[in-house]
Structure 1
């Protein structure tokens, strides 16, 4: 889903994923907490209403994918919502760049689990995002965030092939994680819980995921090999 970041400052601040991407102008942006200052990617056009939180299967799996993979990397979710414009609210947990890219990409692949599809976009499908980011433009949807970071890393003048190669490497790492049976079980169970209520607290989602995975496992594994 599309996302938006809360301004980050002191330790303990939060960042929020919300719908706001300029590359999807038909998607409406909304605020679940009007007291939270928002920035980046798009304009807030209305406050949230209850119908925004009616559970949607693909969105539930998508947000569960973000949550479960984030928990694997040692992140702390605060709230997960699976309505028409789902989001995950995270506590401010700095993470290695690779972990952030994988956690972000996990959403779309996890969403595919709801319809039993593993979909990898062709280079031609990624081209419009490369163009948006280089303008610079685009918002904070998953793909925008990933490609923006890859462009920053490679340089604004880097050839498309270099950026796409880095994108594919992130795909490989993300799928390596999501193809693990215990990870899929955690995503599926969190998604089912989301479908019942439309939202979970971070503690609830983490407790559900921890039946199948060990929170912080990938963070610890990275530290052991660094």
Structure 2
């Protein structure tokens, strides 16, 4: 077993998921970020796996600490879409996003890609808000220092900048 080492990039990634989840009214239990990966665990049965905007907020938030933004091309995304359509279980964020979109849209690749881009733009718009950016930075900074945070502690840090539940989607399954 290797030593647990926090990671800046992964901390911003997980903080992006966490802050958008909080805005959607979700309750985090724990968040962690290491050089080997990270994750956010949520309380109760949730539709977080279907919230494509929240899924994409992670990869998009990674660039905050280096002031860049990664937006994959359609060619970059095509292998993910094809893998999910062929029944491969993909646990990385793009695989999760395409799984949710295919379940929701089911239609042609063009329709699924269009829905992906819409969710991507929504995530970018949210992450560009000063309050959201400040919340992501606050959580990521502490997560980089500690490597793990209890959900309540991460929510308290983010809540200094955002109003949890302010973007709750009442009709989300």
TM above 0.5:
yes
Q: Which has the larger radius of gyration?
A: 1
Flag the structure with more relative contact order, 1 or 2, with Cα contacts below 8 A and sequence separation at least 6. Answer: 2
Q: How does 1:32-47 map to 2 (within 5 A)?
A: none
- State whether residues 76 and 93 of structure 1, in contact with CA within 8 Å, keep that contact through their aligned partners in structure 2: no
Partner of 2:46: 94
Partner of 2:88: 137
Matching residue within 134, 146, 162 for 2:111: 162
Q: How does 1:104-123 map to 2 (within 5 A)?
A: 104-123=55-74
Query: Whole-Å Cα distance in 2 between the matches of residues 96 and 130 of structure 1?
Result: 20
Q: Which runs of 5+ in 2 are unaligned?
A: none
Q: Could you tell me how far 1:95 is from its partner in structure 2?
A: 4.2
- State whether residues 61 and 191 of structure 1, in contact with CA within 8 Å, keep that contact through their aligned partners in structure 2: yes
Matching residue within 76, 85, 100 for 2:27: 76
Partner of 1:20: none
- State whether residues 129 and 138 of structure 1, in contact with CA within 8 Å, keep that contact through their aligned partners in structure 2: no
- State whether residues 62 and 110 of structure 1, in contact with CA within 8 Å, keep that contact through their aligned partners in structure 2: yes
- State whether residues 13 and 59 of structure 2, in contact with CA within 8 Å, keep that contact through their aligned partners in structure 1: yes
Q: How does 1:139-154 map to 2 (within 5 A)?
A: 139-154=90-105
Q: Which runs of 5+ in 1 are unaligned?
A: 1-48
Q: Could you tell me how far 1:177 is from its partner in structure 2?
A: 0.7
Query: Whole-Å Cα distance in 2 between the matches of residues 108 and 70 of structure 1?
Result: 14
TM-score, normalised via structure 2 length:
0.91
Partner of 2:78: 127
- State whether residues 61 and 188 of structure 1, in contact with CA within 8 Å, keep that contact through their aligned partners in structure 2: yes
- State whether residues 63 and 86 of structure 1, in contact with CA within 8 Å, keep that contact through their aligned partners in structure 2: yes
Matching residue within 179, 187, 191 for 2:136: 187
Q: How many residues align structurally?
A: 170
Cα RMSD (Å): 1.8
Considering fraction of residues, name the structure with more helix: 2
Q: Could you tell me how far 1:93 is from its partner in structure 2?
A: 4.8
Q: Does the residue aligned with 2:102 lie in a helix, a strand or coil? A: helix
Partner of 1:31: none
TM-score, normalised via structure 1 length:
0.71
1:146-197 deviation digits (Å, cap 9, x = unpaired): 1011112222xx3221111010010111111111001000000110001111
